[in-house]
Structure 1
Amino acid sequence: MIGQIKGVLEEKNAPQLLVDVNGVGYEIEAPMTTIFQLGSVGTNVVLYTHLTVREDAHLLYGFISKRDRTLFKTLIKVNGVGPKMALGILSSLDADQFVSCIHAEDTTALVKLPGIGKKTAERLVIEMKDRLKDWAGAETALPLEAASGNTPVPDQNAELEAESALIALGYKPQDATKMVNAVKGQAQSSEELIRLALKSMVQR
């Protein structure tokens, strides 16, 4: 089992990363809450990882903290929640924010996350409340704060990259387009567009 990756960030194409470890490149999928905290390409990174083995692929998921990885592992134990959905959840809300929703039984907030309907939201609350009863430090404020000040309008490539990332996280193509269009005048980079789009979705 691969539990940690330490190396140089070679590529950052949300939600996918490529990390070079002594000449070996590891393809890693990460939630946006992790990607937002990483440095630029060429910097050293440390990611706590979880390996999922399928018949057709070995998929490596990376997280900025052990707490995020622990929550990811707990999420994928819930019936009907796979790694892709768990990644979408932790891209929209960080670990403490999600735990706050569970403790508050806030299914209204949960159904705004990609791929989660009413029944799945109710199942998450029921199955995870006991598992997360000892989780410390849960907050109520939403993450993904936008940068202040005026920012240039992004080019079309940044918009397309942002839409592609949102689709990869589980949002429907038409929803991804609407989310990016709603915030494209507020940011220039694809990463910031994703941040703002996710924030806008969870705060509706």
Structure 2
Amino acid sequence: MIGRIRGVVIEKQAPEVLVEAAGVGYEIQVPMTSFYQLPDAGQEAIIYTHFVVREDAQLLYGFANKTERALFRELIKANGVGPKLALTIMSGMSAEQFIQCVNYEDVTALVKLPGVGKKTAERLVVEMRDRLKNLQPVIAEGGAPMPANNESVVVLGAMDDAKQEALSALLALGYKQAQALQVIKSVYQDEMTSEQLIREALRAMA
């Protein structure tokens, strides 16, 4: 089991990052809540991971702290929830927000997430209530460093790239193309980075 990787961020293409550690490049799928906390390419990051082995693939999922990884592991135990849907759920809301939804039986907030219908949301509330009692929404020590308050500088002429990267990320998370395009258009402002655009798009669809 690969439980933790410390290395240099080589590429960031939401929702995937490429991290090099000891000469090996690891492709890691991360929820957007963790993606926002990762440093820029060329900087070191610590990522807590969950390793999934399937017949057709070996996949690494990464998280900024142990709390998010613990939530992911509980989610994939739920009936009908696989790693991809768990990643989508955690991209649409923080661990603290999800726990709040479960505690208050807020099915309405859950069904706004792609791939989560009313029945799935109701099942999540029932199944996750007991599992989340001991899970506290706090940042564990050793998590990936938070980015500085100053956002990444936009490269001149990269605005269209930002939109494309945001669209690719939303599609990978399960949103429909028409919905993704519409919300990107509505929230986009000049000189936005792709990360800022994804963040605002997800916030608008919440």
Between the aligned partners of 2:109 and 2:191, the Cα distance in structure 1 is 25
Between the aligned partners of 2:39 and 2:74, the Cα distance in structure 1 is 27
Between the aligned partners of 1:133 and 1:67, the Cα distance in structure 2 is 13
8 Å CA contact 1:187, 1:193 repeated in 2 = no
8 Å CA contact 2:31, 2:63 repeated in 1 = yes
Between the aligned partners of 2:191 and 2:135, the Cα distance in structure 1 is 34
Between the aligned partners of 1:153 and 1:199, the Cα distance in structure 2 is 25
SS at match of 1:130: helix
8 Å CA contact 2:8, 2:43 repeated in 1 = yes
Please name the residue that 2:61 is paired with: 61
1:37-87: CA deviation from partner (whole Å, max 9, x where unpaired):
111100000000001111110000000000000000000011111111100
8 Å CA contact 1:153, 1:185 repeated in 2 = no
Please name the residue that 2:172 is paired with: 168
CA shift for structure 1 position 22: 1.5
Please name the residue that 1:99 is paired with: 99
SS at match of 2:20: strand
Please name the residue that 2:21 is paired with: 21
Question: Is 2:179 the counterpart of 1:179?
Answer: no
Question: Is 2:44 the counterpart of 1:44?
Answer: yes
SS at match of 2:91: helix
Please name the residue that 1:125 is paired with: 125
CA shift for structure 1 position 154: 7.0
SS at match of 2:170: helix
8 Å CA contact 1:154, 1:184 repeated in 2 = no
TM-score (norm 2): 0.88
Please name the residue that 1:87 is paired with: 87
1:89-119: CA deviation from partner (whole Å, max 9, x where unpaired):
1111111111001101000000011211111
Between the aligned partners of 2:117 and 2:97, the Cα distance in structure 1 is 19
SS at match of 1:80: coil
Identity of aligned residues (%): 54
Question: Is 2:10 the counterpart of 1:10?
Answer: yes
The one-letter code matched in structure 2 to 1:44 is: E
Please name the residue that 1:142 is paired with: none
The one-letter code matched in structure 2 to 1:14 is: A
CA shift for structure 1 position 2: 0.3
CA shift for structure 1 position 16: 0.4
Instruction: Select which of 195, 198, 206 maps to 1:194.
Output: 198
Between the aligned partners of 2:34 and 2:174, the Cα distance in structure 1 is 17
Please name the residue that 2:76 is paired with: 76
Between the aligned partners of 1:195 and 1:20, the Cα distance in structure 2 is 26
Gaps of 5+ in 1: 139-146
SS at match of 2:131: coil
